[in-house]
Amino acid sequence: MTTNSGFTRTALEVAEANGDQSGKVFLITGAYSGIGVETTKALLKINAQVILAGRNAQAMNIFVEGLAKAGYDAALIDAAGPLCDLTDLNTVNEFAAYVKKRYTKVDVVLLNAGVMMTPVGVTKQGYEIQVGTNVLGHFLLANTLLPITSRQVWVSSKAYEMSGGKNFDFNWFQNFRAETEEEKKAYDSMFAYQQSKLGNILLAKEFAKRDERNAAVKLEAVSLHPGIIDTNLSRHLGSATKGIFTVLGWVGILSKKTVEQGAATSVTCATAVSVTNGAYYDDCEPARFEHGNATNEADAIRLFDLCVELTKDFM
């Protein structure tokens, strides 16, 4: 392995150290944006077949054209599927059907796309926009592809510890509809983001545990914190919030990574020969500490079962 620390290691360094991935199939959501770009490039450099998922056809086309101009092997890039908009479970279902029809196996599903601290809103099916996108949309994709998947990699965030490290609020999520002015004014975008990133970790742990109870599935599932990175994920942050993050970086409380460094943990979890099943990764290795809200087994089971119920009509 490279001698760089887990913090400074780049996605390409990790990929080259973990070796050739010829014959393996990887699927990544949000492939054309943020750390998805560097994750995709690193996988292609080591001969992986990569299925690209996204909701913006124009952005996808521009990204694929850029890959071609940069000399990446077009035969390894599958951007032919229908749009996969995580805010609309119908499109997730259609994309998953495309993948299952074309592939008999997907070695790794990277659940990478996401939204952060958005204005108040709901998904196409009426669920709070951040949990609905980051958690529910990804759950439907992951669960539908489960029979042909060997490993899931859920991109979460250390933000799951924010808002006081609150546990998943099932009552809030199941009842929030943003239909009244009072509800809209009370909306806390940071809390909603914290809930969504906590949900990613809980689902990864429960997918891993259900695999242990069902040896026929043979699934590994992990979640990760990519680091503090400047990408368009933060486009909804207000200037004051961005200023706080900048100051924290200056004084050393928060250290920022480049996008290439931010994608390194994703590539580690995707290409390592084996991972610590159910673990939450940080700086390319299992985190030494997890907040108690992420280790609540009852919440993980309850959230998984709730996601099954809410997506059953789209399976």
Give the whole-number percent of the chain exceeding pLDDT 70: 89
Quick check: is 242 in a domain?
A: yes
Q: Binning pLDDT at 50, 70 and 90, where does residue 256 land?
A: confident
Closest CA to 136 of 294, 296, 302, 308: 308
Question: Is residue 230 predicted with pLDDT exceeding 70?
Answer: yes
Quick check: is 2 in a domain?
A: no
Distance of CA 5 to the CA centre of its chain: 23
- Give tens-digit pLDDT for 207-218: 999 866 565 557
Mean pLDDT of 119-143: 98
Mean pLDDT of 164-182: 96
Give the whole-number percent of the chain exceeding pLDDT 90: 85
Question: Could you tell me the pTM of the whole model?
Answer: 0.91
Quick check: is 191 in a domain?
A: yes
- Give tens-digit pLDDT for 262-303: 999 999 999 999 999 999 999 999 999 999 999 999 999 999
Quick check: is 140 in a domain?
A: yes
Quick check: is 113 in a domain?
A: yes
| Average pLDDT along the chain | 91
Specify the number of domains making up the chain.
Answer: 1
User: In terms of residue numbers, what domain contains 294?
Assistant: 11-314
Q: Binning pLDDT at 50, 70 and 90, where does residue 44 land?
A: very high
DSSP sequence for 2-62: -SS-TTT--HHHHHHHH---TT-EEEEETTTSTHHHHHHHHHHHTT-EEEEE-S-HHHHHH
pLDDT at 211: 65
Quick check: is 192 in a domain?
A: yes
Distance CA 3, CA 179 (A): 53
Q: Binning pLDDT at 50, 70 and 90, where does residue 248 land?
A: very low
Quick check: is 226 in a domain?
A: yes
- Identify the active-site residue in 160, 193, 280, 281: 193
Query: Catalytic site residue 193?
Result: yes
Quick check: is 6 in a domain?
A: no
CATH code of 192's domain: 3.40.50.720
pLDDT at 143: 97
pLDDT at 231: 57
